[in-house]
Chain A
Amino acid sequence: MATPAPVVKSRSLNCPNCGGVVELRGFEHSRSAVCVQCCTIIDPSTPELKIIQRFSEKLRVRPLIPLGTRGNWHGAPHEAIGFQVRCINVEGTEYCWHEYLLFNPYKGFRYLSQYDGHWNDITTIRGLPTFTQVSGRKAVEFGGRTFRHFQHAEAQTKFVMGEFPWAVRVGEKNVVDDYVAPPYSLSAEMAGGEINWSQGTYVTGAEIWQAFKIKGTPPTARGVYSSQPSPFTGKPGQAWRMALLLLCGWAALLFFFVISAGNDLAFSANHHFSPAQGEQSFVTPVFELDGGNKNVEVELRTDLDNSWAYFNLALINESTGQGFDFGREVSYYHGVDSDGSWSEGSRSDSATIPRVAGGRYYLRIEPEMEATASTFGQTPRGFNYTVNVKRDVPSTWLFWLILPFLIIPPIITSIRAASFEGRRWAESDYAPSGGGDDE
């Protein structure tokens, strides 16, 4: 039976232009092989070694992965056999990336691309992406993922080295549409009226350097790459969940303090203040504040109307004579203007004195009122008020004090995550400025 030789021999050829030796690494797959000595692209599949193209030696670029390097990649040895530089032109600026063709005689071809230190592992895909839309923008669905359109560009081949399973030409242009779902990306390349899809996976230079045992260190990645996974993926959600959890715990703790607070009414009295009577300082009857060092709330409820009052207050210990002096202003104004009805202030106010020792106390109260209330020849109108003294009232000020500390971290994380996405999309067709930035 006319079976082929069980061992496929590698071969080399002599460049029909300069006579130099061109070693072939892709066996019979190669449809182009570049003579490095004279920059001639040869078709090794033709018996006469047809010259596809000669290009200027000035275009030479040195690949970071030397051709012929083998590495264990995706569970099988792969050899770098081809290298090309491709560029797109965005508003007069050229952006170039490098593509390495990897080959395994059983598993076929895959690619590594490198741009500004960012690497992608690329294969052709099985199956066909379907077009869709995400927030009014082009997108494709593939393999259960939604890829958002990133860029439409014309890629031009600027330099080639090694071998390719198709006829390469320097200067050749292809329209490329890139879609991203970090760390994955999909590219649709138009060639001869047909779309060829490939999928990329973001990889680090370090992984490649290790797999291919390349000397030195990979170039440092600069900026944010279109398919680079965000270091903040899931972090804002995590931070918010953590904040919510802490908040709930904190609220539960406070709720416990609130319901366990005594909140006893130690004293209550109604009074009337009339400005005509002048100085009206008086003291209340003595009342008992029980227990140890607990807080005391002094509450003032008035019926003030478009007016204010000021209370000089002192909580005085009957036996020691020591007191807590404090003042409280109560003002309440309201009316109707062109914007409708309005009001300002409140008819009541309170003051909480922390850590008041138990014992017998009385209040000294000295109200004052708005002077104008008695200057328009009218009978000065006084006001009624109630003084309530409460022992051991629940306090929530600590809750509000801690609250910002709980929500600042998730806010910062969210801002940083959004900023990373902003930098990613700044390079896309959808940048707010309408073009790539100049980072």
Chain B
Amino acid sequence: MSVQANCPACGAPVTFMWSSAVQTACPYCKAILVRHDVNIENVGEVADLPRDASPIQILTEGIFDNRRFMVIGRLVYQWEQGGWNEWHIAFDDGRSAWLSDAQAEYAVSFHVAPQAPLPSIEQARRGLAIQWGGLNYIITHRTEAAYVGFEGELPFRTTSRSRMVFADLRTPDARFGTIDYSETPPLLYMGRQVDFDELKLRNLRMFEGW
């Protein structure tokens, strides 16, 4: 499954744990590496990640809907009331998803193709309903955020986006979705909110005094 390469910046061996990874960081020289088929391009240097208190880390393992996954990457977002993590998780079957951790509230979502055109960024207001899989999803939050860091393997290139708009979707039964307006057309992620215990996470970070 994993792919071996050498860092074009420092020559150190770089392992892509997930065969579909597009971007990673050299663990030695912190170069941002983007994969083009067989070539690997150095596109810059990763910034230091802000200190955070997520219990999850790269290589944390867990179970979602009876399928094992491993955390292979992370995007860190900042918005006016704080930050949150989108952990990139890869399942045994090669699929990947996002495990979001916002102040220890967790949700898992998958990138999906919209079944109908998504509302435009201007239309995406609280209370708007969106159909998905025969269910009504309501936009409950609209958040403006920016990347403040990334680590590990990602399914796309993180180009610098200072301002991104997200619309969070909810249903009465804890299904969860996000419309990501950082691309055109917008991206849709669908999943559900999960309980910490339900994920049976292993290889977690430790907290001093706990």
A associates with B:
yes
Question: Which residues in A have some Cβ–Cβ distance to B below 8 Å?
Answer: 1-10, 26-29, 31, 45, 77, 104-109, 124, 126-130, 141-142, 165-167, 193-195
Q: A28 contacts B104, CB within 8 Å?
A: no
Can you show 5 pairs from A to B with CB atoms below 8 A apart?
A2-B25, A29-B103, A106-B55, A127-B171, A127-B173
Docked-complex contact A2 and B104, CB < 8 angstroms: no
Q: Which of B86-94, B114-122, B201-209 contacts A (4 or more CB under 8 A)?
A: B201-209
CA distance A29 to B52 in the complex (A): 7
Whole-angstrom distance between the Cβ of B142 and the nearest chain A Cβ = 8
User: Does chain A have a CB within 8 A of B44?
Assistant: no
Q: Shortest beta-carbon distance, A35 to chain B, in Å?
A: 21
- Chain A: minimal CB distance from B191 (Å): 12
A-contact 0/1 string along B40-52, CB 8 Å cutoff: 0000001001111
B interface SS class: loop
- Among A4, A108, A109, A166, max chain B CB count under 10 A is at A4
Query: Is B133 engaged at the interface, CB distance under 8 Å to the other chain?
Result: no
> Quick check: B104 and A3 within 8 Å, CB to CB?
no
Q: Are A8 and B82 in contact (CB under 8 A)?
A: no
* Cβ–Cβ < 8 Å partners of A109 in chain B: 103-104
Asked if B20 lies at the interface with its beta carbon under 8 angstroms from chain A, I say no
Q: Is the CB of A6 within 8 A of B103?
A: no
**Distance between A76 CB and nearest chain B CB, rounded to angstroms:** 9
Instruction: List, in ascending order, chain A residues with CB within 8 A of B46's CB.
Output: 2
The distance in angstroms between the C-alpha atoms of A77 and B127, with both chains bound, is: 37
Asked if B140 is at the interface (CB within 8 A of a chain A CB), the reply is: yes
Find chain B residues with CB under 8 A from A45 CB.
Answer: 82
CB-CB nearest in chain B for A128? B170
Q: Could you tell me the distance in whole angstroms from the C-beta of B45 to the nearest C-beta in chain A?
A: 11
CB of B159 within 8 A of chain A?
no
Q: Is B156 in the interface zone, CB < 8 Å from A?
A: no
Query: Which residue of chain A has its CB nearest to the CB of B193?
Result: A126
A1 with B208: CB separation less than 8 A: no
The residue in chain B whose Cβ has the minimal distance to the Cβ of A127 is: B174
Q: Per a CB cutoff under 8 Å, which of A9, A31, A108, A129 touches B172?
A: A129
Query: Do A8 and B53 touch across chains, with their CB atoms under 8 A apart?
Result: yes
From residue A126, how far is it (CB to closest CB) to chain B in Å? Answer: 4
Report the Cα distance A6→B55, complex, angstroms.
9
A26-B140 contact given A2-B25, A127-B171, A165-B82, CB 8 Å threshold: no
15 other A-B residue contacts (CB within 8 Å) besides A2-B49, A27-B207? A2-B30, A4-B49, A5-B205, A6-B205, A7-B207, A8-B205, A10-B209, A29-B103, A45-B82, A106-B204, A109-B103, A126-B192, A127-B170, A165-B82, A194-B140
Contact A141/B172 with A8-B206, A28-B53, A106-B204 known, Cβ cut-off 8 Å: yes
A436, B108: Cα distance in complex, Å = 44
- Cα distance A142–B142 in the bound complex, in angstroms: 22
What is the minimal beta-carbon distance from A422 to any residue of chain B, in angstroms?
Answer: 32
Complex CA gap A67/B37 in Å reads 55
Residues of chain B within 8 A of A28, CB atoms compared: 50-53
Residues of B contacting A107 in the complex (Cβ-Cβ under 8 angstroms) = 104, 196-197
Given contact pairs A8-B206, A106-B104, A108-B196, A3 touches B172 in the complex (Cβ within 8 A): no
Which A residues touch B61, using CB under 8 A?
A: none
Judge whether B172 and A128 touch: CB under 8 Å: yes
A residues near B57, Cβ cutoff 8 Å: 3-4, 6
Cβ of A169 to closest chain B Cβ, rounded Å: 13
CA distance A265 to B142 in the complex (A): 91
Which residues of chain A are within 8 angstroms of B209 by Cβ–Cβ distance?
A: 10
B164 lies within 8 A of chain A by Cβ:
no
- Residues of B within 8 Å of A29, CB to CB, are 53, 82, 103-104
- Once the chains bind, are B210 and A77 in contact (CB under 8 Å)? yes
Task: Please tell me if the beta carbons of B82 and A124 are within 8 angstroms of each other in the complex.
Answer: no
Q: In the complex, A4 Cα to B74 Cα: how many Å?
A: 11
B185 within 8 A of A: no
Considering only residues 87-144 of chain B, those with a C-beta below 8 Å from chain A are 103-105, 126, 138, 140-142
By beta carbon, the residue of chain B nearest A9 is B208
Q: Of B51, B141, B193, B197, which contacts A127 at CB under 8 A?
A: B193
Given A4-B49, A195-B140, A10–B172 Cβ distance below 8 Å?
Answer: no
A4, A105, A142, A165: the one contacting B210 at CB < 8 Å is A105
Check B53–A26 contact: CB distance below 8 A: yes
Q: Per-position contact with A for B13-32: 1 when CB-CB < 8 Å, else 0?
A: 00000000000010100100
Residues of A within 8 A of B196 (CB): 106-108
- Contact between chains at A194 and B208 (CB < 8 Å): no
The complex places the Cα of A45 from the Cα of B83 at a distance, in Å, of 10
Q: B63 → chain A, closest Cβ, in Å?
A: 16
- Shortest Cβ distance from A45 into B: residue: B82
Q: Given that A28-B53, A128-B172, A130-B172 are contacting pairs, would A6 and B105 also be in contact in the complex, using a CB cutoff of 8 Å?
A: no
Rounded to whole angstroms, the CA-CA distance of A107 and B207 in the bound complex is 13
